[in-house]
Amino acid sequence: MLSALHRRVPVWSASLKAVRKPLEPPLAAPSALPPTAPAVSLVMAVDNTIETEGKITSVLAGTMFRVELGNKHSVLAHISGKMRKRFIRLTNGDRVKLEMSPYDLSKARIVYRLG
């Protein structure tokens, strides 16, 4: 019979197999919030957009446009996904409806072509 020194498997590995227990699910940590606390959402609501109208002044590369608003400010705008999907064409002089985020008023999304 081979001794422990001549075996390829270490002696301790055979003893661990007998002692090993199945994994148990970890216990749930107690919540820091009381059960009656309202859930907090970290996602910005869609209602926080500013809708305005403007006129396209220049067509840029990559479906980007320079749009002049009614108050003579100029913003950089891109086409929304649904307009891109439907292949709506925009040219200089088109009136468009824009959505702007209150966090960055220099950029906008074109959501509708008014004509």
User: How much is the pTM?
Assistant: 0.59
Sign of the torsion formed by the C-alpha atoms of 82, 83, 88 and 89 = negative
Backbone dihedral angles phi then psi of residue 84, each to the nearest 5 degrees: -65, -40
Q: Give the domain CATH number at 65.
A: 2.40.50.140
pLDDT at 77: 96
Asked, for residue 40, whether it belongs to a domain, the answer is no
Residue 94 domain boundaries = 47-113
Closest CA to 97 of 109, 82, 83, 84: 109
pLDDT at 99: 95
Q: How far is the C-alpha of 81 from the C-alpha of 87, rounded, in Å?
A: 10
Instruction: Please list the rounded mean pLDDT of every run of 10 residues in the chain (115 residues).
Output: 58 57 64 59 69 96 94 95 90 95 94 91
Q: How far is the C-alpha of 4 from the C-alpha of 41, rounded, in Å?
A: 61
What is the domain count for the chain? 1
Asked, for residue 24, whether it belongs to a domain, the answer is no
Residue with tokens 């422990």: 4
Count each helix (H run) and each strand (E run) in the chain, helices first: 2, 5
Asked, for residue 16, whether it belongs to a domain, the answer is no
Q: How far is the C-alpha of 59 from the C-alpha of 10, rounded, in Å?
A: 72
